[in-house]
Each structure stands twice: as structure tokens, then as C-alpha cells.
A and B are shown apart, each in its own frame.
Chain A
Amino acid sequence: AQTVTQSQPEMSVQEAETVTLSCTYDTSENNYYLFWYKQPPSRQMILVIRQEAYKQQNATENRFSVNFQKAAKSFSLKISDSQLGDTAMYFCAFMKHYRLNAGNMLTFGGGTRLMVKP
């Protein structure tokens, strides 16, 4: 079974600053996906960024980037130029590589609550 751990229950950052959210995971799989989801006060689950384990290059999406360390089983999210709208709960999640006959569910960490301060 897979486990995902987010060791920072809460974080805060000043607007326009950079913040890094940590995530570690445990798995015996070699091929898998890792995700960061954002959950704002509206409670909608929004996909922020996705990383494929077989890719060495770290994924980036505008102000969001990851530091993926496969050997260390670490997957941190960096938010640059933080904006007030980034205030949300952030969840790290793991998914096994797609298999037609297996459940490809997400395993979530406990979340990190990020507050961006003006």
C-alpha cells in the first residue's frame, strides 16, 4: 500500500514571496504519478501540477514547480510570487501507473493549509 505524508499542517507566506510545501511518500511501485491539488475555501479540488515518475525533469506550471526526488521519495511544491488567491489547502497525492484492470485511485496526504498574507 502507498502512503503520502505532508509534515506541515499549516504554513504562511507574505504576498509576492516564495513558499515550499513538503511531501514524502512510500511505495514499492516504480511507475506512478504524483500530484498537487489545491482546495480553496470553495472546497473544489483543483489540479495544480502533475509529475510522472519516469520523467527526471521537474514539472512546472506557471508560478508552480515541483522538486521531485525519486530516490528520496520526496515531492515538494514551490509557489513563486505568492498571491492572495493561493490561500488554500494543498494536498499531495499519489497514483499508480495506469492499469486497465486495477483501481487507479489517488492516495492523499493529510494536507497543508497555506495562508498568503498581504
Chain B
Amino acid sequence: DSGVTQTPKHLITATGQRVTLRCSPRSGDLSVYWYQQSLDQGLQFLIHYYNGEERAKGNILERFSAQQFPDLHSELNLSSLELGDSALYFCASSPPQGKAFFGQGTRLTVV
């Protein structure tokens, strides 16, 4: 158990819809990262939050947004969903010592 909790584990939704993925980092970790893993693909960095502030953006679509709340949990919002958004979405939290611990991921299927 990495200590990072993601919900839900699975999500099936229709094109055009909006979903919210949730992540609770490990106790004490201020950093939360979101990654996308499409089918048979490597992991692509989406966005990084540190203590409530956005710190870096990767290849994140404008239809996607995220935030980190005062209790440090984070949410990734995906809107106007397309078939190509089907993927495994990971959250990771990181202490300052240069490690990253991943949640179990949310498998999103857009139909």
C-alpha cells in the first residue's frame, strides 16, 4: 500500500460528459502529481500541485483542470469527454526527498 488513495477505481461514462477523479496523498506529502496512461502507452505528466498551488503543467488538455484543496486532496476534472480520453489516470504524491508514490489509478472508459 503506497498510502495514496484514488477514487473511483473504475469509471464508465459517455462522450460529452464530465467526471471528477479524486486523490488523497500520503500523510505529510504536499505535492500531488497527475499522470495519464493511455492503452499500451507510457505515462504522461499532466499537472503538479504543491500545497494548494499549481506548480507545473504538462500535456494537459484545456478540457481538463485540477485543483488541490486545503486538506491537500486533489481533484482532476475532465470535461467534454472524448473516446480518446479513455485511459488510466494516476495520482502520485511526493516528499521532498525525490520519490514518488502512486495511487492505484482510476480507469476511465468513455463510450
Find chain B residues with CB under 8 A from A91 CB. 42-43
Q: How far apart are B93's CB and chain A's nearest CB, in angstroms?
A: 11
Does any Cβ of A come within 8 Å of B48's Cβ? yes
CA distance A37 to B92 in the complex (A): 13
Report chain A residues within 8 Å CB of B41: 110
Closest to B33 in A: A105
Q: Is A108 on the interface with B (CB-CB < 8 A)?
A: yes
Shortest beta-carbon distance, A5 to chain B, in Å?
11
Q: How far is the CA of A111 from the CA of B100 in the complex (A)?
A: 17
> In whole angstroms, what is the CA distance A71 to B43 when docked?
26
- CB of A47 within 8 A of CB of B99, answer yes
The reply to whether A103 and B48 contact each other, CB–CB distance below 8 Å, is: yes
Main secondary structure of the interface of B (DSSP, over half): strand
- Is there an interface contact between A43 and B105, defined as CB atoms closer than 8 Å? yes
Contact B43 A108 (CB under 8 A): yes
Contacts of A110 in B (CB 8 A): 41-42
What is the bound-complex CA distance between A43 and B58, given in angstroms?
22
User: B56 to chain A: which residues have CB within 8 Å?
Assistant: 102-103, 105
Chain A residues with CB under 8 A of B64: none
Name the one of B43, B97, B104, B107 contacting A106, with C-beta atoms under 8 angstroms: B43
A33 within 8 A of B: yes
B99, A104: Cβ atoms closer than 8 Å: no
> Does B45 lie within 8 Å of A105, measured CB to CB?
yes
Partner of B98, one of A43, A95, A102, A109: A95
**Interchain nearest-CB distance for A78 vs B (Å):** 21
